[in-house]
Amino acid sequence: MSNEPSPTVTFDDRFARELAEMAVPWQADEPPDPRLLVLDEALAATLGLDPAWLRSRDGVRLLVGAGVPDGARPVAQAYAGHQFGHFVPRLGDGRALLLGELVDADGQLRDLHLKGSGRTPFARGGDGLAVVGPMLREYVVSQAMHALGIPTTRSLAVVATGRTVHRETPLPGAVLARVASSHLRVGSFQYARATGDADLLRRLADHAIARHHPEAAETEQPYLALFEAVIAAQASLVARWMLVGFVHGVMNTDNMTISGETIDYGPCAFMEAFDPAAVYSSIDQAGRYAYGKQPLAAQWNLARLAEAVLPLLHEDQERAVVLATAALDRFPDRYRAAWSAGIRAKLGLPDALDPTRVVPLADELLTLLHSGRVDHTSFFRALAGAARDDAEPTRRLFPDPVAIDDWLARWRALSPDADAMDRVNPIYIPRNHLVEEALAAATHGDLRPLERLVEAVTAPYDERPGLERYAAAAPPDFGSYRTYCGT
Ligand code: AMP
Ligand code: MG
């Protein structure tokens, strides 16, 4: 086996080249005993990376950044961010590195990025490391999100480092290799703006347009069009989260992308009993990022993006504020349009049906789900059965089955399409108790529960025999679930 990195891996360094002020050249730590835990072979192939080679010693060294090809220029990226409402002008990749960009099978530029690769100049008090459990959580949840058709960064691999990481207890260290259409965040624009360097802000916007929203370049006001495109992408993304019951957990501006991909799976969770106030993050004590508050949180973050890009929108800053405000004011409509189209599909109702008939019916349903503390995922999956004349499994989800009868009768009068419902309402999601079970086993060296969970959630709509426990809600003794910030 050769000790040279695969000659076929060629990284671009477009971010580092175009935005050098936001890129600190840096090197990953050399882990004492790297061992590959999981690899997404299909994703590797779309990036032109040979999965068999990635499993080799040199391949694994690439996946932890210890052996990068000649010419690669890994960098830690600078960004700022509002964390729980408070502005921090310098966050950046404290424990992460951008190895560079690869061109995927569709000709798109994709970042290959590492998390847990050692301290960088942005590390502040942190140790620069990551732990097996949380990195595998990002792996499994991002796999599920992708399979659900929700835009997301991808997880290529998790490698155990052989190093002990000290948290509340000693834990096994890991590096996650992450793939994204870019790592540009709202916080990247906040950082550029805070430097006061107008040229840097413009170059960042040009870079974002070229990579994510090229149609903006053809408009009369490309930077306003960029801002509008980000608003549209985020409105659609958060609607998708809401429809599937996903709670991100830490929607700080540094965790919101310009591309519209979900990023930074820390204390995230899928809601079980429907509840707008559902919070799973141990650090979100005020419920700022509760399930039902996510659309508002997104709009708040986009207002911070507006502030950052104001100098690009108009020479006259008062005019710029008017333009930005008008664009931002359209977020709620865009969000509602995306959500109504999605809920109509979940209810199996035809496209042509007037939204003014669908939305009140859906709102009424959510009130019933909330008061009955009904499992969100189980309800929508069971409901297709009710469209096929078997309403009992749906009714049984309610503490008082009669509570849903009147609603069911009015919904069935609209002739829902049960097969269409099965194509959009997942049966398998990464339920919290299953994720915890899989991560605990993996932390002790047994990867099988994780592999089985990944298998279930990567075909979320296809009901398969033998996977019953992956479709069931948590046992009552699982209690109120909390996740700890993904360190
Ligand atoms: P996150 O909460 O993961 O979005 O991270 C917020 C900020 O803290 C980012 O700047 C991270 O790079 C940094 N950070 C988180 N954990 C660590 C760590 N263990 N070592 C160094 N920096 C970290
Ligand atoms: Mg983050």
- Do both 171 and 192 map to the same domain? no
Q: Is the dihedral of CA 178, 184, 123, 265 positive or negative?
A: negative
- Do both 165 and 188 map to the same domain? no
- Do both 174 and 245 map to the same domain? no
Query: Active-site residue among 13, 93, 254, 422?
Result: 254
Of 139, 159, 180, which residue sits at a domain end?
180
Alpha helices by DSSP H, 149-197: 186-195
Task: Please compute the mean of the pLDDT values over residues 255-263 and round it to a whole number.
Answer: 98
- Do both 140 and 230 map to the same domain? no
Q: Answer yes or no: is 399 within a domain.
A: yes
Query: How does strand 269-270 pair with strand 246-247?
Result: antiparallel
Task: Please compute the mean of the pLDDT values over residues 382-404 and round it to a whole number.
Answer: 97
Q: Which residues, other chains included, contact 159 with Cβ-Cβ below 8 Å and sequence gap of 6+?
A: 31, 34, 35, 36, 37, 60, 63, 64, 174, 175, 177
- Do both 137 and 204 map to the same domain? no
| pLDDT at residue 4 greater than cutoff 70 | no
CB 114 within 8 A of CB 99: yes
Structure tokens at 158: 């998790």
Q: Decide: 264 in ligand 1 pocket, CB within 6 A.
A: yes
- Do both 170 and 73 map to the same domain? yes
- Do both 176 and 192 map to the same domain? no
Q: Decide: 255 in ligand 1 pocket, CB within 6 A.
A: yes
- Do both 299 and 239 map to the same domain? yes
Residues 60, 65: Cα–Cα separation, whole Å: 9
**What is the Å distance from ligand 2's center to 335 Cα?**
24
pLDDT: is 4 or 317 the higher one? 317
Of 118, 151, 180, which residue sits at a domain end?
180
* Residue among 294, 364, 306 at smallest CA distance from 332: 294
Q: Decide: 58 in ligand 1 pocket, CB within 6 A.
A: no
Q: Answer yes or no: is 459 within a domain.
A: no
Task: Please compute the mean of the pLDDT values over residues 431-439 and round it to a whole number.
Answer: 97
**What is the Å distance from ligand 2's center to 255 Cα?**
5
Q: Which residues, other chains included, contact 131 with Cβ-Cβ below 8 Å and sequence gap of 6+?
A: 116, 165, 167, 171, 172, 173, 174, 487
Residues 478, 65: Cα–Cα separation, whole Å: 38
Q: What is the DSSP string of 193-226?
A: HHHT-HHHHHHHHHHHHHHH-GGGGGSSSHHHHH
pLDDT band at 487 (very low <50, low <70, confident <90, very high): low
Phi, psi dihedrals of residue 3, rounded to the nearest 5°: -95, -5
Q: Answer yes or no: is 147 within a domain.
A: yes
Q: Answer yes or no: is 69 within a domain.
A: yes
Taking only the tens place, the pLDDT of each residue in 298-323 is 999 999 999 999 999 999 999 999 99
**What is the Å distance from ligand 2's center to 314 Cα?**
30
- Do both 189 and 157 map to the same domain? no
Taking only the tens place, the pLDDT of each residue in 319-360 is 999 999 999 999 999 999 999 999 999 999 999 998 889 999
Looking at every residue in the chain, the average pLDDT score rounds to 96
Residues 30, 172: Cα–Cα separation, whole Å: 15
Indicate the number of domains in the chain.
2
- Best of 22, 26, 93, 95 for a ligand 1 pocket test (most atoms within 8 Å of beta carbon): 95
Residues 411, 404: Cα–Cα separation, whole Å: 10
Ligand found nearest the CA of 262: 2
Q: pLDDT value at position 2?
A: 45
- Do both 261 and 379 map to the same domain? yes
Q: Which residue has the tokens 């690899």?
A: 39
**What is the Å distance from ligand 1's center to 421 Cα?**
40
Q: Say what percent of the chain tops pLDDT 70.
A: 98
| pLDDT at residue 486 greater than cutoff 70 | no
Q: Decide: 91 in ligand 1 pocket, CB within 6 A.
A: yes
Q: Range of 250's domain?
A: 184-427+471-487
Residues 305, 424: Cα–Cα separation, whole Å: 32
Residue 354 appears among annotated catalytic residues: no
Structure tokens at 195: 């430097």
CB 136 within 8 A of CB 144: no
Ligand found nearest the CA of 122: 1
pLDDT band at 477 (very low <50, low <70, confident <90, very high): confident
pTM over 0.85: yes
Q: Decide: 110 in ligand 1 pocket, CB within 6 A.
A: no
Alpha-carbon 260 to chain mean position: 9
Residues, beta carbon < 5 Å, ion ligand 2: 255, 264
Q: Answer yes or no: is 457 within a domain.
A: no
Q: Answer yes or no: is 259 within a domain.
A: yes
- Do both 153 and 265 map to the same domain? no
Q: Answer yes or no: is 214 within a domain.
A: yes
Ligand found nearest the CA of 263: 2
Q: Decide: 101 in ligand 1 pocket, CB within 6 A.
A: no
Q: Decide: 121 in ligand 1 pocket, CB within 6 A.
A: no
- Do both 292 and 332 map to the same domain? yes
Of 130, 146, 180, which residue sits at a domain end?
180
**What is the Å distance from ligand 1's center to 122 Cα?**
9
Q: Answer yes or no: is 70 within a domain.
A: yes
